Amino acid sequence: MRRRDFFKTSVVASAALSLNFDGLQAALASNTAAMEAAPDLVAVMGGEPEAMLDKALEALGGIGKYIKKGQKVVIKPNIGWDRTPELAGNTNPLLIKSLVKRCLNAGASKVTVFDHTCDDWQKCYKSSGIEAAVKEAGGIVLPGNDERYYKSVTIPGGVKIKEAKIHEALLEADAWINVPVLKNHGGAKFSCAMKNLMGIVWDRRVFHSNDLQQCIADLCALQKKPVLNIVDAYRMMHQNGPQGKSAADVATTKSLLASTDIIAIDTAALGLFNQVKKLEMAAIGHITKGETLKLGTTNLEKLNIKRIRV
């Protein structure tokens, strides 16, 4: 299957979009046996965040495949900006609330949520709706605004970044889940699963002054990788990112992607992004640089992809 055919969209109302998977069925017909196995990547469309999360986790084999009883779990969303959910600068709080619940139901002893925000962390946590959502679900929120929360670790295989200070909550966790929002980004051009890892480090100035695209890829080589990547594309900021200015910057795509392969999920997310605003892979160097580091694949044709309509 060609990547440009991975997602097809049609405008249904102003900036609202609806994905159409009907044209993909013929291409999948010859892959029936492969589809019986657990998928490498799941794409869900057309539902609310909680329903799409449940469908994705079910297709992947259940949350218990990734989170075990007694584990300390970290969920890392994007909470970088003092923006409300409607502006799509941060991960959807309803998705985070649902995921915290699923982890606790799987037996996690503790679920912690944090981000190293760009705006004032207290305003970001509140405006995004994520702080309230996490607490309602029984989770814990931690700030990331002080260097004392971070510890130095080596980055094996890093080209530009060979060491970084990582938030201690993530280092002490038994498992962590990466939950970015899909959006435009002025510097990196594209912000998704790989770019979301910049919120786990203390000093990001090094990234911006030292080949940002390679540094993003390097960070994904961190030894302690997420057990799962879940991309929030319920609302997508297609311009003026990473903060956004108004509702005109946002398209409602009602979609969610899930995969353990951080390169594949960003590749698939780019296919979705391109239905709203054209962006060439060549402009997003961190994806192909990550593939060079053998962190995953951009070749979606060789993957078992399950598509679900809610």
Does an H or E element contain 270, and which? Answer: helix 262-273
pLDDT reported for residue 98: 98
Q: Cis peptide leading into 180, omega within 30 of 0?
A: no
Average pLDDT over all residues of the chain: 90
Q: What's the mean pLDDT in 227-235?
A: 98
For residue range 58-106, what is the model confidence (pLDDT) as tens digits? 999 999 999 999 999 999 999 999 999 999 999 999 999 999 999 999 9
pLDDT at 236 over 50: yes
For residue range 103-126, what is the model confidence (pLDDT) as tens digits? 999 999 999 999 999 999 999 999
Does an H or E element contain 96, and which? Answer: helix 93-105
Q: Cis peptide leading into 39, omega within 30 of 0?
A: no
Cα 185 from Cα 190, distance rounded (Å): 5
| Dihedral sign for Cα atoms in the order 32, 36, 38, 41 | positive
Cα 273 from Cα 275, distance rounded (Å): 5
Q: What's the mean pLDDT in 283-306?
A: 97
Single out the residue of 4, 21, 7, 22 nearest to residue 272, CA to CA.
7
For residue range 195-226, what is the model confidence (pLDDT) as tens digits? 999 999 999 888 888 899 999 999 999 999 99
Cα 207 from Cα 297, distance rounded (Å): 23
**pTM across the whole model:** 0.90
Cα 280 from Cα 293, distance rounded (Å): 20
Please count the structural domains in the chain: 1
- What single-letter DSSP state applies at residue 129? S
Name beta bridge partners: 259. 41, 229
pLDDT reported for residue 100: 98
**Mutual angle of helices 262-273 and 285-292, in 10-degree steps:** 160
For 166, the domain range is 3-309
pLDDT reported for residue 6: 47
Residue type, 222: L
pLDDT at 14 over 50: no
pLDDT at 17 over 90: no
Give the residue with greater pLDDT, 36 vs 250. Answer: 250
Q: What's the pLDDT band for 305 if we cut at 50, 70, 90?
A: very high
Q: Compute how many other C-beta atoms are within 10 angstroms of the C-beta atom of residue 119.
A: 16
pLDDT reported for residue 168: 98
pLDDT at 193 over 80: yes
CATH number, domain with residue 207 = 3.40.50.11440
CB 28 within 8 A of CB 6: no
110 φ, ψ (degrees, to nearest 5) = -160, 140
Single out the residue of 121, 79, 99 nearest to residue 176, CA to CA.
99
Cα 291 from Cα 222, distance rounded (Å): 14
